Amino acid sequence: MKRIEIREVINKAGETVKVCGWINARRDHGKIIFIDLRDRSGLLQVVFEPSNAAAYELANNLRPEFVVAIEGKINQRPAKMVNDKIPTGTVEMTGEKLEILNTAKTPPFELDKDTIKVGEETRLKYRYLDLRSERMKNNIIMRHKIIKFFRDYLDRQGFLEIETPILTKGTPEGAREFMVPSRLWPGKFYVLPQSPQQFKQLSMVAGLEKYFQIARCFRDEDQRGDRQAEFTQLDIEMSFMEQEDVFNLTEGMMIEMVKALYPNKKFTEPFLRLKYAESMEKYGSDKPDIRKDKNDPDELAFCWIIDAPMFKQSEAEKKIVSGHHPFTMPNREDMEKYPGEPLKWRAYCYDLVLNGSELCSGSIRIHRRDIQQKIFEILGVSETEIKQRFGHMLDAFEYGAPPHGGIAPGVDRIVAILQNEPNIREVIVFPKTGDNRDLMMDAPNAVSKKALKEANIQIADEVTTKAKAKGENLYGESTSVAD
Ligand code: ASP
């Protein structure tokens, strides 16, 4: 018999069907065994009675998280017995045939309850169990729906989904980069992208006009609040446009998405626009939380922050750094008015803030070589470094680069806020800890001497000494099946 999903049983009263899933809970009432069977789509009560000896005997062995296939008749429950807490509460199944597909050890925490109070280290180590819980499963389903909505929306607007390389060269977004040693080019490294910034701009030079990507971005940051070393952006770029076009596109997409997927949420449209200086003066922040009632889980307060400064004075190093990133177009009037005072220039860049969190940032880009060269010079990038790191961008700008710009909404943050989750780890399937460890896979981890040699890597003496002092293994095994 073909398996059906639990959510489908509601219309099957009187029929015999087959369902598969996990034992969510078991209750014995006198001689009768009640099982709550769980699959991704829902829960179903299954009853095993002693009159059906074979199935009953087997059902006696059932424990939480065993995986089973059950065939049986779907019965309408009498009105008094209806369980209005579950969608299938008007029916139940009489278990006739039971097959145990796999047994399970007792899980380290209860999966039929919200796992939010369980220690995070345990949840992350056993993430595949944590994800079986109702809240976590829903977060992942809603994440899928949000991403699918964005994809479909952008497709309807004529955008192309374009994949860009992960093994690449650095692109400045203000964070440290992850490096990957090249085996074939000893002493040389790839860098994981902090964002596909240069590729999306080069796609505009290539004439692709409207680009998007559900892009994984990598930033090797120290422990910093609610950040992840790898995170997902809905990366967008378009040609022949102005700021207003990005606002319209982003605003339209967010509004339609919320209306379609979260009809209970309330927000004000059009989104408020605040100049950076105004926001700093009024709220002391460039991420103001302008909600009327911060305790209302259904209130969404979006606001654009515009006209931010092109450059900032970095306090630590006393030098000029980019406000957004160096590919951002400075305000032309400011450039003409204060030619020698770049700290006074505003940029054509914008952030979209939601409930006090930065949701997206973006900018109109420089598409002319002379302006880009000048910005690098102001940032103190040497002639040689400009050539080595950004020569390809400057070259490309000389072959008919169209005016262009874009934005990159942070997918993890959007899902977390909409799902009322306190941090983005709750909406990422397999996240890392705040200090960048994957507790389930046990990464980062040592690799074998052989692998290090092939990658032309030698571990620094001080690391070796520290590891020895701690009695830690510096090298992994190289005899495994995967080598
Ligand atoms: N690349 C930028 C970022 O990651 C976004 C953009 O300018 O489109 O913040």
The percentage of the chain sitting over the pLDDT mark of 70, rounded to a whole number, equals: 99
Whole-angstrom distance, CA of residue 274 vs CA of residue 286: 9
Measured from the CB, is residue 375 less than 6 Å from ligand 1? no
Nearest ligand 1 atom, CA 406: 8
| pLDDT tens, residue by residue, 393-430 | 999 999 999 999 999 999 999 999 999 999 999 999 99
| Domain 6-102: CATH class, spelled out | mainly beta
Phi then psi for residue 283, to 5 deg, are: -115, -5
pLDDT bucket at 224, cuts 50 / 70 / 90: confident
Q: Where are the domains of the chain?
A: 6-102, 134-426, 447-482
| pLDDT tens, residue by residue, 263-301 | 999 999 999 999 999 999 999 999 999 999 999 999 999
pLDDT bucket at 206, cuts 50 / 70 / 90: very high
What's the confidence (pLDDT) of residue 171? 82
Residue 478 has pLDDT above 60, yes or no: yes
In 3-state terms, what secondary structure has residue 59?
Answer: helix
Nearest ligand 1 atom, CA 236: 8
Measured from the CB, is residue 361 less than 6 Å from ligand 1? yes
What's the confidence (pLDDT) of residue 480? 53
pTM: 0.95
Annotated binding site for L-aspartate: 173, 219, 324, 365
Please name which of 411, 482, 472 lies closest in space to residue 140, comparing C-alpha atoms. Answer: 411
| pLDDT tens, residue by residue, 56-95 | 999 999 999 999 999 999 999 999 999 999 999 999 999 9
Q: In angstroms, what CA-CA distances link 465 with 34, 459, 468?
A: 59, 10, 5
Separation of 304 CA from ligand 1 center, angstroms?
15
User: What does CATH list as the number for 134-426?
Assistant: 3.30.930.10
In a 10 Å sphere around its CB, with 0-12 CB exposed, 13-18 middle and 19+ buried, how is residue 176 labelled?
Answer: exposed
